[in-house]
């Protein structure tokens, strides 16, 4: 059995809807390890990589202001993580537009 699984999430979903989809997958013993934008079958999509097995903590998605420099973005993520862990960071499709998003586990 494959250790990793890749799921495609809609490029038109809101941040909250994407977050809920990831949380639902984790409720059935998958652990999100990354999310990124991509193209699947010629269409925009978000590619979620999961590891088989129960997660340690709960994930949330957070939009990060892309206008800041690298240090500013890093500071934003660390504040949002608040003792948790930044699992993944990058541009994904939210409502059809690319946005910088951090996947944080607390």
Tally of domains within the chain: 1
Neighbouring C-beta atoms of residue 88, cutoff 10 Å: 19
Instruction: Check: CB of residue 65 under 8 Å from CB of residue 80.
Output: no
**Between residues 69 and 100, which one has the greater pLDDT?**
100
pLDDT of residue 70: 82
Least confident of 15-19, 35-39, 76-80: 76-80
Least confident of 2-16, 25-39, 64-78: 64-78
Domain extent for 34: 4-105
Q: Enter the tokens of residue 5.
A: 């699984």
For residue 101, name the pLDDT band (cuts at 50, 70, 90).
very high
Q: What is the CA radius of gyration of the chain?
A: 13
With the CA atoms of 12, 78, 85 and 73 taken in that order, what torsion angle do they form, in degrees rounded to the nearest 10? 40
Nearest alpha-carbon partner for 35 in 82, 99, 91, 106: 91
Q: How are beta strands 59-63 and 97-105 bridged, if at all?
A: antiparallel
Model pTM greater than 0.75?
A: yes
pLDDT of residue 66: 61
Query: What secondary structure letter does DSSP report for 48?
Result: E
pLDDT of residue 2: 74
């Amino acid at each position: 059995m494959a250790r990793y699984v890749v799921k495609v999430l809609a490029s038109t979903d809101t941040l909250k809807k994407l977050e809920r989809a990831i949380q639902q997958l984790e409720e059935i013993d998958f652990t999100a390890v990354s999310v990124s934008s991509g193209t699947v079958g010629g269409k925009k999509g978000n590619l979620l990589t999961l590891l088989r097995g129960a997660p340690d903590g709960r994930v949330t998605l957070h939009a990060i202001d892309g206008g800041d420099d690298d240090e500013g973005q890093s500071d934003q993520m660390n504040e949002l993580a608040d003792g948790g862990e930044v699992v993944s960071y990058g541009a994904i499709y939210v409502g059809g537009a690319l946005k910088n998003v951090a996947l944080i586990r607390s």
